[in-house]
Structure formats: structure tokens, C-alpha cells
Structure 1
Amino acid sequence: MTDSQTDSLPTFKLVVLAGGESAERTISLQSGESVARALTSRGHQVKTIDPSLIDLERYDWTNCDAVFIALHGTYGEDGTIQATLDRLGVPYSGCDASTSKLAFSKSASKERFIQCNVNTPSYVLIHESDNAQRIEQHARTMGYPLVVKPDAQGSSLGVTIVQTPEELPQALTRCFHYDSFGILESAIKGSEWTLSLVNDQVLPLIQIQTAREFFDYEAKYHEDSTEYLFDFDFPTNVIQAITKTGVNACEALGTTGIVRVDMILDRFQQPWVLEINTIPGFTNHSLVPKAAAKAGIDFGELCERALIHCLTKTADKPQN
């Protein structure tokens, strides 16, 4: 059974995991609500569970065919929930535990990108216990402007573009509020892009335009002025290069299911991979649903495609 045959799927008993205790809890609840509504509209029996309120180890999974993970941030995207579901023998959407853990760490994924010749900005891994002078020296060596980011966090939380040495201490404080590890990353000036894949199907590329300094949390979820473009004023070979770079990044990490690659195109028209999101948002502002709609995939079918592998395995099981 292929992705194009989702209309022929029987109905399933599904659980949507949303909420959790990460800094992205609010967005996760919104994603979960949208997903549950969409899957219900496709005829499935859907129950939403918040792992911060219900112990998944004690939950009765006998009446669950598969889980849609709509947990963003820590616990959802870092491989923890995937490892838990693996132990419980419950099929779930998205990448496995090891790939999720790899993608969620910016430093670990960058190392894999470098090994696989995928362009990514240079970086230095830092820790909150590091000597301030050591971090300042790294920043001077890297040069300004630079970007300070938590090593493991999503939705651009704790991210700051630092223009001068005087701005560095505040940026570090903000970064270490979200994670004990962080990275200093070379700031690439250029246009922002995102590429989504659904079970290896490449969705239409999106160029993001925001009036803010970069595509930060506010631009992602609250700014109605943020623009998402599908028609580009760039040569075809440049668009192909951006797409190829995004696909290569996913292959480097071995992702599956629905993923989103965030990139920057510099002034020399060279694409650079910033990160891969293994559980991208499913809100009204989210990028994957926009790209899917452009490709003619409605939201309900998109949600089913996220579960297609475990659903088809269940559908193909012989009935007793």
C-alpha cells in the first residue's frame, strides 16, 4: 500500500500524544488538537493523551493501533518518547529513537552533516559551566555577528543573533535558560527557506520572509505579517540546489515520516542547513501543512501519511 492509497485505509484506533512538559507545550497542544480533529474527520477513532498527566507506562495500549506524536521539544523530539513506545511495543509516527535524538541535538546533527558533506554553518559547542573568557575567546575567533542557540530546543526558543561582544552575555543567559549545552554558530546572512518531506516525498519549497530579525518564535506563531512564498525570484538551478541540500540533510540523518529542513541561502546563492525538525508543527501557522496543501494534500491525508507505515502494517496483518 502506498501513500496515494490513504483513501482506502480502514479505520483505526489512534492516540495523539500532545502537551508534555517542554517549553513548547502550548504549541504541542495546538498541534495535537488539529491532528486529532483531522484524523477523526477521516473516520478514525482518536483519543488525545497528555503525557504530563497520564503515565504512559501504565496506560492500557491494547486498543491502540498506532500513536501520532505531536509532542514538540524535549521528551517528544529527543528520542525519549520513541524509546518508551518501543519498549511498550506501540507503533508511532515519525523517526525512531536514535534518529530523533541525533536530529534534536544541533551539535550532533551538525557533525553528521559535516561527515556527509552537507553544508552547515560552523559552530562551537559550549556548556553553562564553561569559563566566560573561554566562550568569549571562541566568539572572537568565530567573529561577529554570530548566533547563540540552545543545543537541544525547538521553535527558535533561546536563539539570539549577536552583533557585538557586549550582547554576548545576555544571549548566553537566554540560551542556558533552555539547555545546559549551547552552540555558537557562524551567522549566515541571506534568505530563509524550508523544505518538507513526507515519507520521502518532497513537498514544495517555501521561502520565508519576515520583518523580524529572523524567523523567530514570534514570527513563527504570532506574526500575521510573515510571508510564505512558493514562487521565487531565483534561477532554477539555485532552487534545485536548495532542494537537493535539504534532501541530502535528511538522508544524512536517516529520517523517516514527516520532517522539515530549515536552511539559509547566502548572498553567493549557496544553501546552508540549520537544522532538521523531526516533529514539525501542525498549527494554522505551520509550514508543513502549507507545503502539503500546495501539493494538493489536505490536512487529514497529511496526518494519515505521517502514520502510513505503521497503519499499513496493521492493515496488512491477517485477521484471526
Structure 2
Amino acid sequence: MRIGYLYCPEEIIQDIHGLAVVQKEICTADKYLADRIRSNNHEVELIEYSENFVKEIKKADYDFIFNGADGIDDIEEYDQLFEKLDKLGIPFSGCNRKIHYLFTDKPKAKEFFQNCGVETPSYHLIGQNMKIPANLSYPIIIKPAATDASLGIDEDSVVYNEVELNRKLSEIFKKFDKVFIEQYIDGREFCVPIVFNKGEVETFPILEIDFSEHFENKPKILSYKAKWSRNTNAFKNTYSRVKDLEPELDNKIKETAKLIFSRLNSAGYATMDIRYADNTAYVLEINPNPYLAIESDFIKSAKHLGLTSNEFMEKIIQLNNLLTIKSKNH
């Protein structure tokens, strides 16, 4: 197949003759993934995400688009990316716009989880100048209402009283219009990689987040720094490992995944974040376009299952490509 690999360029600041020059380059992770696809005997061309990316795709005769553009912080712009990909009519990797929008809009996702009959922490949506609900049960965690990848979450996002809540809200409202406050569940955390197709749900080996001594006197949360800022203590002291879970817990998490993803009349891959406490599996969030670099949770899990990176990438391509072909024939 002829495949276009859509990526978000990294901005590299270089000193050229004493001047700071910003150059855009493809990151190492995207190079790696594009090479894995290429090694499966596909013709792969790199497409830089920009204002003109749709024109670039239309100029070429691609059979498939691999969507590696997961570095867009603006949620509206990110939604528009999926809208444009949907309108192109070319099969692309991952979830469609409808599913992406569902899971990145936290209140909508919560409502969906509840309709599926799964447990999820209690929550409130708060806009600027709105009255804070009375009788909140602390501690709570504060998040932007429509972001993913832990954007807007730091080690101070968990608050223990109204004074801390007001202080944090004042800070976060400077950047975001709506805020999501949620009951903080102090328990074990799991990442569940999932591949789904028209009601069929395949749960990959489950990973547990190993919070080290760095978090001994801090809330155990995956902040933005813990996920993405490689030079921080939070990143260096947060690990995820595939775990052989107790059968009852393993079954409970897998059944939770099936209750959610069997309702989606589409195909894609995603990761589900679970907190486990008091014999209850609480669904926190679902990432409908997860990171797929060599160190990512999904690739770790796939390797534990016996899949190479090449085999996993091919599985993703065939999953979405076959779905599109079937849709066109019905």
C-alpha cells in the first residue's frame, strides 16, 4: 500500500552564526514508526501537519493515512484534524472523529461511562464565575474539561480543602475556560491497551503504573511532566510495567473494557486508565489516539503479547483499512 504518515514537527532551536533559528523536524519516534511501516513492504511518505496538509494528501494517491499527529495541544484544532481526515474518505489509523470527540470531552465521556454501567469517580463541571458546588468530598483532582495527554495536570492538581481548590481554580482559569473537578481515588493505577472492531474487543496485557519513592508524600497522579518531560523527577520516577494480575482483578478490568468498547460501532485502538480501590475498578479516562513510540505502554504490551513493532503497526493498518472497505461495500 501507499501510505502517508502524518506527523507533528518538533521545533528545534539551533544557533546558526550567532542567531537562534527555529527549525521544524520530524521527531525520533515518528521516524521509528514510519520505518516500521516501511519495513512491512509499504511505500511510506512523510506528511508534515500544517495548514496545507489536506492539499498535500489530495495531491497524492494514498491508500491509507497513518495518523501520528498526536502533539496538538489545542483541543479544537485537534478535533478539526479528525474532521478533515474523516472528510478525505481515505482510511486512517485510530479512532474516527466522533469517538475522539467523545473521549476528549470529559463530561461527555463520563456520561458515556455511566450509561455503560461502569464505575467512574464523581465529578462536577465548573466554568468561570460559576458557583462551586457545596459539600464536595475531598480530596479532589482538577483538570481542564477538554484536553488529553494530561495537559494542564501537575502535582498541585490534587487539592484537600476549599482554600486550595480556590487557589488552583484561579490558576487554571487563566488558561482554560472550563474546569473538571473529580473525586481523587487513592489506589492502584492501570493502563489498559485495547483494540476494538465493531463490537469485538481485544484487551492487550495490562500495565500497572509503578509510582516510586518520589511520590511517597505526594498524590500518585500522572501529571503532564510525568508523561512527557524527560528531564523531570516526575518523569524519571514514574514507570509502567506489564503485570500478571490476580485473576479476579484481571477479569474485572477486562469486563469493564468490554462494557465500554463493545458499544462503539467503529474500529480503532485506545488506552483506558483505571484506578482500583476497595475492590472497585474506576474508569478515569480513555485516550483514543495513544502514543505508539517504542517506549509507549501500547508497544510494551504488544511485545509482551509476542508482537513485534512491525506486526503491531500492520495490525493497526489492516484493522482500519478493512473496516473502511467493508463500509464501502454495504
Query: Under a length normalisation based on structure 1, what TM-score does the superposition of the two structures give?
Result: 0.81
Kindly indicate whether residue 112 of structure 2 is the aligned counterpart of residue 108 of structure 1. no
Q: What CA deviation, in whole Å up to 9, does each residue of 1:148-195 have, x standing for no partner?
A: 011111221212111232322343245445532221101111010011
Determine if contact 1:18/1:70 at 8 Å carries over to the other structure: yes
The runs of 5 or more residues in structure 2 that have no matched partner are: 11-23
Pick one of 183, 195, 200 that aligns with 1:198.
195
Q: How does 1:173-188 map to 2 (within 5 A)?
A: 173-176=170-173, 179-188=176-185
**What is the DSSP-based 3-state SS (H/G/I as helix, E as strand, rest coil) of the residue aligned with 2:291?**
coil
Structure 1 residues 110 and 20: alpha-carbon distance in aligned structure 2, compared to 1, 3 A threshold = farther
Q: How does 1:1-320 map to 2 (within 5 A)?
A: 12-19=1-8, 29=27, 31-52=29-50, 54-57=52-55, 59-72=57-70, 73=72, 74=74, 79-127=79-127, 129-131=128-130, 134-135=131-132, 138=133, 140-159=134-153, 160-176=157-173, 179-199=176-196, 200-211=201-212, 212=215, 213-221=220-228, 222=230, 223-232=235-244, 235-254=246-265, 256-266=267-277, 268-312=278-322
Structure 1 residues 20 and 77: alpha-carbon distance in aligned structure 2, compared to 1, 3 A threshold = farther
2:293 aligned partner, one-letter code: T
Determine if contact 2:91/2:324 at 8 Å carries over to the other structure: no
Number of matched pairs = 292
The runs of 5 or more residues in structure 1 that have no matched partner are: 1-11
Structure with more strand by fraction:
2
Determine if contact 1:17/1:67 at 8 Å carries over to the other structure: yes
Task: Indicate the larger mover: 32-41 or 237-246.
Answer: 32-41
- Distance in 2 (CA, whole Å) between partners of 1:59 and 1:235 is 47
1:152 aligned partner, one-letter code: A
Q: What CA deviation, in whole Å up to 9, does each residue of 1:244-302 have, x standing for no partner?
A: 11232323455621111011001x12100011111001124311111111101111221
- Distance in 2 (CA, whole Å) between partners of 1:174 and 1:52 is 31
Q: CA deviation at 1:40?
A: 1.7
Determine if contact 1:67/1:92 at 8 Å carries over to the other structure: yes
- Distance in 2 (CA, whole Å) between partners of 1:202 and 1:259 is 10
Q: What CA deviation, in whole Å up to 9, does each residue of 1:219-241 have, x standing for no partner?
A: 22332433323334x53112210
**What is the DSSP-based 3-state SS (H/G/I as helix, E as strand, rest coil) of the residue aligned with 2:101?**
helix
Identity of matched residues, %: 26
- Distance in 2 (CA, whole Å) between partners of 1:76 and 1:40 is 31
Query: Under a length normalisation based on structure 2, what TM-score does the superposition of the two structures give?
Result: 0.79
Determine if contact 1:210/1:226 at 8 Å carries over to the other structure: yes
Q: What CA deviation, in whole Å up to 9, does each residue of 1:63-111 have, x standing for no partner?
A: 2111111222546995422221222222111122111111111110101
Q: CA deviation at 1:313?
A: 6.9
Structure 1 residues 193 and 174: alpha-carbon distance in aligned structure 2, compared to 1, 3 A threshold = farther
1:302 aligned partner, one-letter code: F
Q: What CA deviation, in whole Å up to 9, does each residue of 1:112-142 have, x standing for no partner?
A: 1111211111111112x224xx12xx2x522
- Distance in 1 (CA, whole Å) between partners of 2:75 and 2:28 is 17
Partner of 2:14: none
**What is the DSSP-based 3-state SS (H/G/I as helix, E as strand, rest coil) of the residue aligned with 1:214?**
coil
2:129 aligned partner, one-letter code: D
Determine if contact 1:259/1:276 at 8 Å carries over to the other structure: yes
1:115 aligned partner, one-letter code: N
- Distance in 1 (CA, whole Å) between partners of 2:97 and 2:179 is 22
RMSD of aligned residue pairs (Cα, Å): 2.8
- Distance in 1 (CA, whole Å) between partners of 2:150 and 2:100 is 18
Q: CA deviation at 1:306?
A: 1.7
Q: CA deviation at 1:30?
A: 5.2
Partner of 2:16: none
2:268 aligned partner, one-letter code: G
Determine if contact 1:71/1:77 at 8 Å carries over to the other structure: no
2:239 aligned partner, one-letter code: E
Determine if contact 1:112/1:252 at 8 Å carries over to the other structure: no
- Distance in 2 (CA, whole Å) between partners of 1:95 and 1:124 is 27
